[in-house]
């Protein structure tokens, strides 16, 4: 079963983290995930770099910043193919970002 | 303190201490755990309403039980519950109401055996015991087992429905069925204790509850050596809990732990249990696990070299369980006897096992053994995977230090 792990960071908490350690942990996490057949991952730039676009009544609105004004912001994702949601949750627990935000585990619509 | 507070506190105390006892008694009658919970919830609500004005009864358990049974009779009369033998149940209600001042019989053992019946899905067994015997909420169980509260609630509801629909018996199995059924109870309790495979991790929040349930079952089934052995295994582990982290919160492996921090009372209780079960029965899985723990501890406390004994205990465990984790642990012990290269050769037997590839201690052991054997790059790579698979910061910190050295 395919799951997406959506990484939501508390950017303030992340700024205070020991970055050398965090990225070393991330390198280890990526290595473990690759060994277990993890699919792919993407790391986003900070939410302040976002531009949001929407169409209302035929009129285009372009806004600076992220879509949702929440404390924890989307920071990236991983795709994993595992046997059960329990296994997906275990990967989320291992993800270094779980210490600085929330990992949302969502099943992917299978075609 | 006013009587309202007192009543609330009494209800809270009874809820904790007697919950499982009362659920078991009610469920044994109705063969229906879900309605036993509902009946007891109504009885607790009635207690909160009446005890503040009328005072707490001399036998609060008996009072709650009688109210719950009366509610049950009301339900049957109103046709809430369709059941055979209605008349008999109503008559027995009235008869059993006289139990009020007597001590209630303990049926928790029967309840536990119903919870692990072969018709109940494996993943629901430990949560069902924790909820029915201890009254632990689905939310707390969910976090401990790393499952969402919604899905654990569904599993519990399904399991209770099966107990009712299939008429799963509330009884202690006879000798012919005992080994298999007891094994299911012990497996569920062990799962509650460790909630996962990762021995490097701290025992769960549920550890004290699992120990309590295991001592209950060891006391209620004194002739079963494996019940005592499981309790011994838990106590040996629990005894070392205070020594598993250093001052900076870094994980400390058993060979480097400060033995002054070990709980000697728990160790001596575990030793007594192990001694008693080795005297009385065949050698089962938990007896072997407890003996291995005992040897590790004796080695640290007396300085004796027990590695040969530990390897041979693992040989028996592998023959019995065919578990890749036992193969892994045997290899780690073998390294102390015959060196890291021999141990690594043994590990190649499980290197393709899918069950072991996501198992953090496998990579940590592989890393340590390779570093000792001088295969620096392979060792470092395995340690990095072990860090990536860790869920515990203390373990991560320990492995980071190994990687840096």
- Residue in A31, A87, A99 nearest the CB of B385: A31
- Residue in A21, A30, A93 nearest the CB of B391: A93
H helices of B203-338, where? 207-220, 225-239, 264-280, 285-302, 307-321, 324-338
Cβ distance A36 to B357 less than 8 Å, yes or no, reads yes
Chain A residue nearest residue B396, CA to CA: A25
Residue B86's pLDDT band (boundaries 50, 70, 90)?
very low
pLDDT tens digit sequence for B384-397:
999 999 888 889 99
pLDDT exceeds cutoff 80 at B227: yes
Maximum Cα–Cα distance across chain B: 78
pLDDT number for residue B198: 45
Cβ distance A28 to B387 less than 8 Å, yes or no, reads yes
CA-to-CA distance for B100 and B93, rounded, in angstroms?
A: 12
Cβ distance B388 to A99 less than 8 Å, yes or no, reads no
The set of long-range contacts for B360-364, using a CB threshold of 8 Å and a minimum separation of 24, is B360/B198, B360/B200, B360/B386, B360/B389, B360/B390, B360/B391, B360/B395, B361/B198, B361/B199, B361/B200, B361/B325, B361/B328, B361/B386, B362/B328, B363/A32, B363/B389, B364/B200, B364/B395, B364/B399
Q: Where are the domains of chain B?
A: 3-106
Give DSSP secondary structure letters for B276-297. HHHHHS---HHHHHHHHHHHHH
Identify the residue with better confidence: B208 or B401: B401
Domain tally, chain A: 1
pLDDT tens digit sequence for B300-318:
999 999 999 999 999 999 9
pLDDT tens digit sequence for A48-96:
899 999 999 999 999 888 887 788 999 999 999 988 888 898 899 999 9
pLDDT number for residue B333: 97
CA distance B56 to chain A (A): 45
ipTM over 0.90: no
How many CA atoms, within 13 angstroms, populate the side-chain half-sphere of residue B299? 18
pLDDT exceeds cutoff 50 at B344: yes
Domain that holds residue A50: 2-107
pLDDT exceeds cutoff 90 at B352: no
pLDDT number for residue B79: 64
pLDDT tens digit sequence for A5-42:
999 999 888 889 999 989 999 999 999 998 887 777 89
Least confident of B4-13, B190-199, B260-269, B380-389: B190-199
Residues 151-210 of chain B with CB under 8 A from chain A are: 151
Beta carbons of B382 and B366 less than 8 angstroms apart: yes
Q: Does residue B400 belong to the interface with chain A, where contact is any CB pair within 8 Å?
A: yes
B211: Cβ contacts below 8 Å, ≥ 6 apart: B193, B231, B234, B235, B238
Chain A residue nearest residue B354, CA to CA: A36
B9: Cβ contacts below 8 Å, ≥ 6 apart: none
Contacts with A85 from chain B: Cβ below 8 Å: 147-148, 151
Question: What average pLDDT is seen over chain B?
Answer: 85
Chain A residues contacting B, CB < 8 Å? 21, 24-25, 27-33, 35-36, 85-87, 89-90, 93-94, 99
pLDDT exceeds cutoff 50 at B199: no
CA-to-CA distance for B352 and B135, rounded, in angstroms?
A: 41
Beta carbons of B173 and B367 less than 8 angstroms apart: no
Give DSSP secondary structure letters for B310-321. HHHHHHHHHHHH
pLDDT exceeds cutoff 50 at B362: yes
Dihedral sign computed on CA atoms, order A64, A70, A71, A74: negative
Q: Does residue B242 belong to the interface with chain A, where contact is any CB pair within 8 Å?
A: no
Three-state DSSP class for residue A103? strand
Q: Kindly state the percentage of chain B with pLDDT values over 90.
A: 42
* Of the candidates B108, B124, B96, B85, the residue with the CA atom closest to the CA atom of residue B20: B108
CATH code: domain of residue A24: 3.30.70.1060
pLDDT number for residue B243: 92
pLDDT number for residue B293: 96
- Residue in A25, A30, A35 nearest the CB of B396: A25
* Segment B230-246 mean pLDDT: 93
The three state secondary structure string of B145-173 is HCCCHHHHHHHHHHHHHHHHHCCCCCCCC
């Amino acid at each position: 079963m395919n799951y997406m792990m959506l990484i939501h960071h508390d950017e303030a908490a992340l700024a205070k983290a020991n970055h050398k350690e965090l990225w070393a942990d991330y390198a280890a996490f990526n290595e473990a995930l690759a060994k277990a057949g993890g699919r792919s991952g993407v790391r986003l730039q900070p939410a302040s770099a976002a531009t949001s676009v929407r169409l209302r009544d035929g009129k285009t609105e372009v806004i600076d910043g992220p879509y949702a004004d929440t404390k924890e912001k989307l920071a990236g994702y991983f795709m994993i193919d595992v046997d059960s949601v329990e296994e997906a949750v275990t990967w989320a627990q291992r993800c270094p970002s779980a210490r600085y935000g929330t990992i949302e585990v969502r099943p992917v619509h299978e075609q | 303190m006013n009587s309202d507070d007192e009543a609330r506190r009494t209800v809270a105390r009874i809820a904790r201490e007697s919950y499982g006892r009362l659920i078991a008694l009610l469920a044994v009658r109705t063969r229906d755990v879900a309605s036993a919970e509902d009946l007891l919830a109504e009885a607790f609500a009635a207690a909160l309403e009446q005890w503040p004005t009328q005072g707490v009864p001399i036998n609060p358990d008996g009072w709650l039980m009688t109210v719950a049974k009366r509610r049950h009779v009301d339900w049957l009369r109103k046709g809430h519950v369709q059941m055979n033998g209605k008349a008999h149940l109503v008559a027995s209600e009235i008869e059993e109401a006289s139990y009020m001042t007597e001590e209630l019989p303990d049926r928790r053992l029967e309840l536990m055996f119903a919870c692990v019946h072969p018709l109940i899905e494996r993943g629901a067994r430990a949560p069902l015991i924790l909820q029915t015997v201890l009254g632990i909420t689905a939310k707390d169980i969910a976090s401990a087992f790393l499952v969402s509260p919604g899905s654990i609630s569904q599993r519990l509801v399904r399991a209770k429905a099966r107990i009712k629909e299939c008429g799963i018996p509330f009884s202690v199995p006879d000798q012919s069925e005992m080994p298999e059924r007891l094994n299911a109870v012990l497996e569920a309790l062990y799962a509650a204790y460790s909630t996962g495979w990762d021995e490097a991790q701290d025992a769960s929040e549920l550890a004290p509850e699992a120990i309590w349930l295991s001592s209950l079952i060891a006391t209620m089934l004194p002739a079963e050596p494996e019940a005592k052995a499981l309790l011994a295994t838990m106590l040996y582990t629990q005894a070392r809990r205070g020594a598993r982290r250093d001052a900076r919160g870094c994980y400390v492996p058993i060979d480097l732990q400060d033995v002054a921090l070990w709980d000697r009372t728990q160790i001596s209780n575990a030793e007594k249990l192990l001694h008693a079960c080795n005297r009385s029965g065949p050698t089962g899985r938990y007896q072997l696990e407890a003996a291995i723990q005992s040897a590790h501890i004796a080695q640290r406390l007396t300085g004796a070299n027990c590695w040969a004994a530990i390897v041979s205990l693992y040989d028996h465990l592998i023959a019995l369980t065919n578990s890749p984790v036992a193969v892994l642990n045997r290899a780690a012990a073998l390294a102390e006897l015959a060196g890291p290269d021999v141990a690594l050769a043994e590990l190649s037997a499980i290197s393709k096992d899918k069950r072991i590839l996501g198992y953090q201690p496998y990579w940590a052991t592989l890393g340590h053994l390779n570093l000792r054997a001088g295969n620096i790059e392979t060792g470092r790579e395995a340690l990095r995977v072990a860090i990536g698979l860790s869920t515990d910061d203390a373990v991560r910190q320990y492995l980071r230090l190994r990687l840096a050295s």
